């Protein structure tokens, strides 16, 4: 059966072992009451239907017990963040001790740079990907300034070769080697927000460490989207948000990874707060900060339990479905979209996401040189939820937890028209 036949998509859905997960999410509807074609999980993931129950449980605890909820018999707030470590570690390929849910993404990047960007007059440069997300740029620029360096002298951007959309790993490694002794930090995205390119984090980590630099990743577009193996790849740190592929809701509590080899080093400089101390002795209210081991030692404040409850609802689904199975479906789903797009005869667009499955997650970025914004508006009007990023890209994320092959087929139909 030709892949352009809708029956092909429907057959793929019938064969999909993860198909039932869609029912566990609320799919937004159009004004006419029809389900939208929701492809915006790269920006805001859909709400699991169980989120309300998780929130309700904590609201109920608050209503019934007030302050005693901190030490309630079930899921006490005092240690609520610990409930997230195991499922989070599965998503990013780490040990539970290496991860913690806290703060927001940019805040965590700053806190991690306080510890791992320790420039000297000889070694002060930071390598980032060209076209990094603005918040990451502002963060590294401000870190350089705080240490007395101008962003112009301290920040090196690696860009694709002329005429190419994606960065070559060999060029990233070459840039790292070129900065050599001057390089203090490599801070790269796991998946670039604009092109959807997945970077070779293992190779980048090894190259950075070889020249004596620290290596960290912003996994905003990678966590919950691609297979990660942070512990074995060995970066010093990573941070991510939870409102995209992790479906924890707008502004949700973010996540952070610190490699085990740093986790017991109490001498690493850090910004400290009482939640980073040993929970057994915290209420002795002593004057000296002594960090607890692992990523949790980077916490500052007591945990935003309501936001964590929402994250828990979603992580439970991830644990059940497993990242392996999700990644397998994701490849098929996004591969199907690419194959369909390649069938279109008149190409007034260009796919700037790598076609090879190992070099991308589920996001496909479509560059429309003429009229991307207008096209996006028209798509929105007919119930396709995707996003537009200036100057000329439409991003589309078929998410394996809740998108179907038929969603992809329908999108392709309206796009072709």
Ligand X SMILES: Cc1ncc(COP(=O)(O)O)c(C=O)c1O
Chain residues binding ligand X by CB under 6 A are 104-106, 133, 135-136, 189, 193, 218, 220-221, 241
Nearer Cβ to ligand X (221/312): 221
Q: How far is the CB of 120 from ligand X (least distance, A)?
A: 27
Phi-psi region of 352 (alpha: psi -120 to 50; beta: other; left: phi over 0): alpha
Nearer Cβ to ligand X (108/404): 108
Nearer Cβ to ligand X (241/351): 241
Q: How far is the CB of 239 from ligand X (least distance, A)?
A: 9
**Which residue's entry shows tokens 């490849």?**
331
Q: How far is the CB of 323 from ligand X (least distance, A)?
A: 20
- Angle, in degrees to the nearest 10, between helices 201-210 and 169-179: 20
Q: How far is the CB of 210 from ligand X (least distance, A)?
A: 26
Q: How far is the CB of 127 from ligand X (least distance, A)?
A: 16
Question: What is the token pair recorded at 41?
Answer: 């999980």
Nearer Cβ to ligand X (193/275): 193
Q: How far is the CB of 265 from ligand X (least distance, A)?
A: 26
Nearer Cβ to ligand X (381/390): 390
Is the distance from CB of 223 to CB of 92 less than 8 angstroms?
A: yes
Q: How far is the CB of 385 from ligand X (least distance, A)?
A: 16
267: Cβ–Cβ under 8 A, 6 or more apart, which residues?
none
Q: How far is the CB of 305 from ligand X (least distance, A)?
A: 19
Q: What share of the chain is helix, strand, coil (3-state, %, to 5)?
A: 45, 15, 40
Q: How far is the CB of 377 from ligand X (least distance, A)?
A: 21
What is the CB neighbour count within 10 angstroms for residue 279? 12
Q: What 3-state DSSP class applies to 35?
A: strand
User: What is the DSSP track for 212-252?
Assistant: T-EEEEE-TTTTTTS---HHHH--SEEEE-SSSTT---TT-
Q: What do you get for the CA distance between the two ends of the chain, in Å?
A: 22
* Local structure of residue 302 (DSSP, 8 states): -
Q: How far, in Å, are 284, 309, 376, 400 from residue 68 at the CA level?
A: 18, 18, 50, 40
Q: How far is the CB of 105 from ligand X (least distance, A)?
A: 4
Would you say how long the chain is, in residues? 417
Nearer Cβ to ligand X (42/403): 42
- 164-174 in b/e form (b: 16+ CB < 10 A) is ebbbeeeebbe
Nearer Cβ to ligand X (12/311): 311
Nearer Cβ to ligand X (135/410): 135
Nearer Cβ to ligand X (51/106): 106
Nearer Cβ to ligand X (47/195): 195
User: What is the DSSP track for 338-401?
Assistant: HHHHHH-SS---EE-S-SSGGGB-S-EEEE-TTTHHHHHHHHHHTTEE-EEETTTEEEEB--TT
The alpha helices in 93-243, defined as continuous H runs, are 105-116, 134-146, 151-154, 169-179, 201-210, 230-233
């Amino acid at each position: 059966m030709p892949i352009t036949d809708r029956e092909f998509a429907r057959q793929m859905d019938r064969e999909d072992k993860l198909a039932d997960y869609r029912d566990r999410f609320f799919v937004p509807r159009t004004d006419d009451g029809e389900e939208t074609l929701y492809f915006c999980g790269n920006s805001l993931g859909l709400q699991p239907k169980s989120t309300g129950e998780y929130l309700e449980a904590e609201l109920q605890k608050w209503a019934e017990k007030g302050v005693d909820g901190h030490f309630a018999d079930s899921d006490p707030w005092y240690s609520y963040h610990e409930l997230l470590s195991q499922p989070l570690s599965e998503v990013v390929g780490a040990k539970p001790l290496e991860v913690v849910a806290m703060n927001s993404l940019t805040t965590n990047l700053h806190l991690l740079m306080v510890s791992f960007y320790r420039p000297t007059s000889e070694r002060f440069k930071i390598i980032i990907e060209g076209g990094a997300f603005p918040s990451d740029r502002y963060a590294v620029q401000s870190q350089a300034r705080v240490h007395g360096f101008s962003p112009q002298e301290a920040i090196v951007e690696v860009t694709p070769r002329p005429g190419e959309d994606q960065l070559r790993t060999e060029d990233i490694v070459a840039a790292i080697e070129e900065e050599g002794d001057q390089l203090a930090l490599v801070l790269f995205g796991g998946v670039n927000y604009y092109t959807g390119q997945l970077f070779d984090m293992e190779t980048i980590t090894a190259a950075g460490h070889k020249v004596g630099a620290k290596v960290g990743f912003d996994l905003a577009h990678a966590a919950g989207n691609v297979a990660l193996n942070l512990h074995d790849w060995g970066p010093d740190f990573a941070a991510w948000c939870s409102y995209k592929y992790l479906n924890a809701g707008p502004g949700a509590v973010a996540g952070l990874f610190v490699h085990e080899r740093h986790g017991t080093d109490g001498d690493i400089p850090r910004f400290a707060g009482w939640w980073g101390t040993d929970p057994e002795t915290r209420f002795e209210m002593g004057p000296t900060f002594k960090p607890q081991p692992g990523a949790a030692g980077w916490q500052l404040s007591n945990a935003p339990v309501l936001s964590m409850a929402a994250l828990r609802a979603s992580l439970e689904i991830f644990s059940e479905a497993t990242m392996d199975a999700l990644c397998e479906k994701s490849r098929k789903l996004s591969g199907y979209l690419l194959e369909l797009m390649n069938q279109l005869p008149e190409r007034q667009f260009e796919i700037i996401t790598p076609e090879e499955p190992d070099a991308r997650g589920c996001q496909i970025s479509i560059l429309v040189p003429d009229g991307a914004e207008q096209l996006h508006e028209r798509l929105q009007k007919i119930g396709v939820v995707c996003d537009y990023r200036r100057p000329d890209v439409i991003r589309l994320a078929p998410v394996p937890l809740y998108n179907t092959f038929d969603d992809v087929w329908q999108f392709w139909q309206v796009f072709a028209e």
